[in-house]
Amino acid sequence: MSGVQIAEPLLVYWPKPPAIVDCNLVAAIVFDEERQVEALAALGGKHPVAPTLLRYEMANVAMNKLRRRECQLDEALEGLGHFDAFAIDLAEVALAPVLQLADRYQLSAYDAAYLWLAGELRAPLLTFDSRLAEAGRDYLAKLPPP
């Protein structure tokens, strides 16, 4: 008798390629915003990854929605529950290169964290923010091959 034998289709276990998702894209999804369908379509077939700061940004989105009276507390909490259930890998970022990117592209440190992570993973950056997208196109196009 021989050892373990496995028969399975090859594509089943191929991982989805990563995509860096920023706060506005994730908020559209978890808070059922107008651009939710567009955000989900962009993410299709990719595995979402974001800096750990995304958790705090999402809480801030919920608070801003409450303050602007766009939702009630239970709806904001429901959105955060959807976020917690959303399979997003959260990653630490290196602060020095984030600061350098923020300075280079005149971005907030928050946005630069998403940009840096996209460069580190050589992954697409998904955002509705045109300034961040423009910086991403420039930065990612100039990276050397991995």
Number of domains in the chain: 1
CA angle 103, 21, 66 (to 5 degrees): 95
Distance, in Å, from the CA atom of 118 to the CA atom of 139, rounded to the nearest integer, reads 9
Confidence tier at 145 by pLDDT (50, 70, 90): confident
The pLDDT score that the predictor gives to residue 5 is: 64
- Residue 109 contacts by C-beta under 8 Å, 6 or more apart in sequence? 98, 99, 102
* Domain contains 4: no
* Domain contains 64: yes
Closest by alpha carbon to 48, among 91, 8, 12? 91
- Whether the full predicted model's pTM is greater than 0.85, yes or no, is yes
Q: Write the CATH number for 20.
A: 3.40.50.1010
* Domain contains 2: no
* Domain contains 61: yes
* Domain contains 106: yes
pLDDT 10s digits, 52-89 = 999 999 999 999 999 999 999 999 999 999 999 998 99
Distance, in Å, from the CA atom of 126 to the CA atom of 15, rounded to the nearest integer, reads 19
* Domain contains 127: yes
More confident call, 24 vs 3: 24
Residue 4, pLDDT > 80, answer no
* Domain contains 3: no
Domain extent at residue 58: 15-141
* Domain contains 62: yes
Q: What percent of the chain has pLDDT over 90?
A: 85
